[in-house]
Amino acid sequence: MASYDIAQYLLDRANIHDTVTKVPLYYDTHNLAGLESEVYAPTIEIDYTSILGGEPRLVSRADWIDEVGGILNKFAASQHVTTGIIIHLPQPGARVARPDKVTVYAQVGGNLVGKSEGGDSTVRLTQNGGLLEADLICDADLEKQGQNPWRISKYKVTKKWDRGDTTVVADLTKN
């Protein structure tokens, strides 16, 4: 068994943290290319059921990126925040194997401004917050290319609170 040394542990921790924090930044800047190339695994289990209803589902990265783009276009503005990130990595050591999958927990929040319809200048604002559970996998091919190899393969948000115009979020499930 190869040793999981401190340098690799610290690099993994930084890369995992970067991958998770790119999600809210790339959502808010509509950086769909970044989500595709730097964040998500080829297949992702998405669970937004506590916010949008429905069931958790397995979806291809391309389909999820298309869906995210459609959702983001329904807003005049958004601000997503991920904080308090806890990465479940084993402590490095001589008899410790480097993991190829990790789970991350964090706090998340969103401020969403709906687009005005017609001549209505009313700002439709909803805010929500909750907990994130994400699984990330290590892609050895990306690592060989010198890239951050950690990609999100599961993304579950559990809403703990919301306020404001929740129809803004409810409208997301409508085509």
> 3-class DSSP state for residue 17?
helix
Question: What is the model's pLDDT at position 120?
Answer: 62
Q: How many CB atoms within 10 Å of residue 1?
A: 8
Name the band, by pLDDT with cuts 50, 70 and 90, for residue 124: confident
The overall average pLDDT reported for the chain is 92
High-pLDDT (> 70) share of the chain, %? 90
The larger pLDDT score, comparing residue 119 to residue 159, is at 159
Question: What is the model's pLDDT at position 165?
Answer: 75
Mean pLDDT score, 134-140:
98
Contact 157, 134 (CB under 8 A): no
Give the span between the Cα atoms of 140 and 137, in whole angstroms: 9
Give the span between the Cα atoms of 81 and 4, in whole angstroms: 31
Give the span between the Cα atoms of 113 and 19, in whole angstroms: 25
